[in-house]
């Protein structure tokens, strides 16, 4: 019996190997694309449709997604690349470029100048690491202010345009209860939890005040400026007044906002898909506005984007060009930003955006890049600690900045 079973297993193995070889003999070239979003339910169908559509348009290619959970994706790609198992392309965050640049190649070495020329040059400039552009932007997703129209109307306040107006509005909003859960309303949300994206959001908050974190030219630390201090002072005063909850992740803020327990908060534009995933009726009460201005700032935000990194390390440059051309086509890209994730087109030709973004129109033009430095993740986490120190830890802004400088020096950030 055992011998028979072994024989059957061996036959199965041979048949599977034979079928794999048959696939290879079919003449299809495998294109490996790392894409965490395939695992996220809001995006799964879109990316599956991309796979089907691409393979129908280019039958000579077999598009294979390499998937892993969002936060594990950079390490997964690095580990595989270390074993010379390279991806041909990768869908990820702009902030991953400095980490993953060496696992991919400059876009000029892989993609045709015509294809690259379709994208906004300013946005391409923000994808530069070590003097070379390493990514093609898929959509622009700056931090904007999402607010609950119904709660603002109930409190009788206008949408704020600066932080003084915000503080005045918060006073009234703090008296309200959520119409959905009956819990008290938190007037304002700014993520400060110990995750890298919170650091990016805090950089945007500092930019609102005209402040700097890194020197745009040299990438060196540049925090001795009025805007930086004013932003932290404002954050502290909002927290001390009880107008915001500290140490919240963006997904927690989305949950609160979807439940009508948060009157307004900063999120990347695509964050609205998270909110509507929690509460499909959220579209009825959600509207957006540009980031507020503070001090001498003009409400600038960080240039944040979903990007594709590309490589010819497997000798598939032609296939990679076809894939990027297909996925960034007006039809596919347009569908993505209009129906899947709220954002603005990164191409020179304009595209229609989701209705919820109408209030924030202009935000996509009031952006400042974050220089791509190797220690960007460390910087973001240290910014989180800085924000936690002035809020939860009750430290003075001056002491917290000094502690930040000490940690940044240890981490060799911007050196």
Partner 1 sequence: MERQLRFNKKTGDRLFWLLLILPALIIITTFILIPIADSVRMSFTEYKMKNILRGTPATWNHFENYAKLLRNKQFLPTIGRTFGFVVGVVLAQFLLGMIFALILNSNVRGARLIRSVMMMPWVVPTVISALIWLWIFQSQYGLFKYLVSVFSLGAVNDFGILNDTSWALVGIGIAALWKQIPLTTLLLLAGLQNVPDDMIEAATIDGAGYFTRLFKIVMPYMRSVIQVVLTMAIIENFKQFPLIWTMTGGGPSNSTTTLAIMSYREAFVSQNLGSGAAVTTIWMLLMIVVVWVFRKLMKRQEID
Note whether 374 binds partner 1 by CB under 8 A: yes
Query: Which one of 375, 401, 404, 408 is in contact with partner 1 (CB under 8 A)?
Result: 375
Alpha carbons 305 and 311: distance in angstroms, whole number:
19
Give CA separation, 173 vs 149, 154, 292, in Å: 12, 8, 17
Please report the DSSP string for 245-283 in residue order.
Answer: -SS--HHHHHHHHHTT-EEEEEEETTHHHHHHHH-GGGG
Spacing of C-alpha 294 from chain mean position: 24
How many contiguous H segments (helices) and E segments (strands) does the chain have?
17, 13
- Min dist CB 123 to partner 1, Å, is 25
How far is residue 200's CA from residue 299's CA, in Å, rounded to a whole number? 15
C-alpha–C-alpha distance, residues 312 and 153, integer Å:
54
As measured in angstroms, the least distance from the Cβ of 298 to partner 1 is 31
- Joined tokens for residue 324: 């990027």
Nearer to partner 1, 140 or 196 (CB): 196
Nearer to partner 1 by C-beta: 72 or 296?
A: 72
Among 64, 195, 278, 351, binds partner 1 (CB under 8 A): 195
Q: Please identify which residue in 97, 103, 202, 324 interacts with partner 1, judged by CB under 8 A.
A: 103
Regarding 194 and contact with partner 1 (CB under 8 A), the answer is yes
Binding mask 228-247 for partner 1 (x = CB under 8 A): -----------------xxx
By the rule CB under 8 A, 190 interacts with partner 1: no
- Minimum Å gap between C-beta 185 and partner 1 is 10
Toward partner 1, which CB reaches closer, 91 or 239?
239
Which CB, 361 or 393, lies closer to partner 1?
393
Q: How far apart are CA 201 and CA 364, in angstroms?
A: 15
Question: Is residue 384 at the binding interface for partner 1, with CB under 8 A as the rule?
Answer: yes
Query: Among 51, 88, 267, 378, which residue interacts with partner 1 (rule: CB under 8 A)?
Result: 378
Cβ atoms 199, 383 nearer than 8 A: yes
- Tell me if 248 contacts partner 1 by CB under 8 A: yes
The total of other beta-carbon atoms located within 10 Å of residue 46's CB is 17
CB of 411 to partner 1, least distance (A): 6
Q: In the complex, what is the shortest distance from the CB of residue 378 to partner 1, in angstroms, rounded to a whole number?
A: 5
Min dist CB 289 to partner 1, Å, is 23
Is 195 or 283 the residue whose CB approaches partner 1 more closely? 195
Cβ closest to partner 1, residue 68 vs residue 321? 68
Closer by beta carbon to partner 1, 199 or else 359: 199
Tokens of 361: 């129109």
d(CA 268, CA 255): 15
> Measuring CA to CA, how many Å separate 135 from each of 68, 116, 124, 308, 317?
20, 10, 7, 5, 15
For the record, the structure tokens of 305 come out as 């984007």
Residues near partner 1, by CB under 8 A = 75, 78, 81-82, 99, 102-103, 181, 183, 186, 193-196, 245-248, 252, 255-256, 259, 261, 374-375, 377-378, 381, 384-385, 388-389, 392-393, 406-407, 410-411
């Amino acid at each position: 019996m055992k011998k028979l079973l072994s024989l059957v297993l061996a036959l199965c193995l041979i048949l599977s190997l034979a079928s794999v070889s048959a696939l290879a003999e079919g003449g299809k070239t495998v294109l490996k694309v790392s894409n965490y979003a395939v695992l996220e339910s809001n995006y799964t169908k879109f990316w599956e449709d991309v796979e089907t559509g691409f393979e129908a348009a280019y039958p000579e290619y077999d598009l294979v997604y390499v998937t892993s959970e969002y936060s594990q994706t950079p390490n997964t790609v690095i580990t595989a690349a270390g074993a010379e198992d390279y991806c041909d392309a990768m869908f990820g965050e702009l902030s991953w470029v400095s980490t993953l640049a060496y696992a991919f190649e400059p876009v000029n070495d892989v993609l045709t100048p015509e294809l690259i020329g379709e994208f906004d040059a300013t946005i391409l400039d923000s994808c530069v690491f070590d003097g070379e552009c390493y990514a093609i932007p898929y959509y622009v997703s700056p931090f904007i202010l999402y607010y609950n129209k119904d709660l603002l109307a109930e409190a009788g306040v206008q949408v704020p345009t600066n932080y003084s107006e915000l503080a005045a509005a918060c006073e009234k909003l703090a008296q309200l209860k959520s119409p959905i859960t009956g819990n008290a309303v938190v007037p304002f949300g700014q993520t400060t939890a110990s995750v890298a994206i919170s650091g990016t959001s805090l950089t945007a908050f500092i930019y609102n005040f005209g402040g700097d974190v890194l020197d745009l030219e040299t990438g060196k630390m540049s925090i001795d400026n009025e805007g930086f201090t004013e932003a932290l002072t404002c954050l502290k005063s909002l927290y001390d007044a009880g107008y915001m909850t500290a140490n919240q992740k963006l997904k927690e803020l989305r949950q609160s906002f979807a439940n009508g327990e948060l009157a307004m908060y900063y999120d990347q534009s695509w964050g609205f898909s998270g909110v509507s995933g929690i509460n499909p009726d959220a579209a009825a009460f959600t509207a957006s506005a540009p980031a507020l201005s503070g001090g001498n700032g003009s409400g600038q935000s960080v240039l944040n984007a979903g990007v594709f990194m590309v490589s010819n390390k497997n000798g598939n440059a032609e296939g990679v060009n076809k894939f990027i051309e297909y996925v960034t086509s007006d039809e596919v890209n347009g569908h993505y930003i209009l129906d899947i994730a709220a954002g603005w087109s990164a191409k020179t030709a304009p595209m229609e955006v989701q209705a919820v973004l109408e209030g924030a129109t202009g935000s996509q033009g009031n952006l400042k890049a974050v220089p791509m430095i190797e220690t960007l993740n460390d910087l973001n986490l240290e910014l989180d600690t800085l924000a936690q120190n002035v809020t939860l830890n009750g430290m003075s802004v001056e002491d917290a900045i000094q502690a930040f400088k000490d940690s940044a020096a240890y981490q060799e950030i911007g050196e």
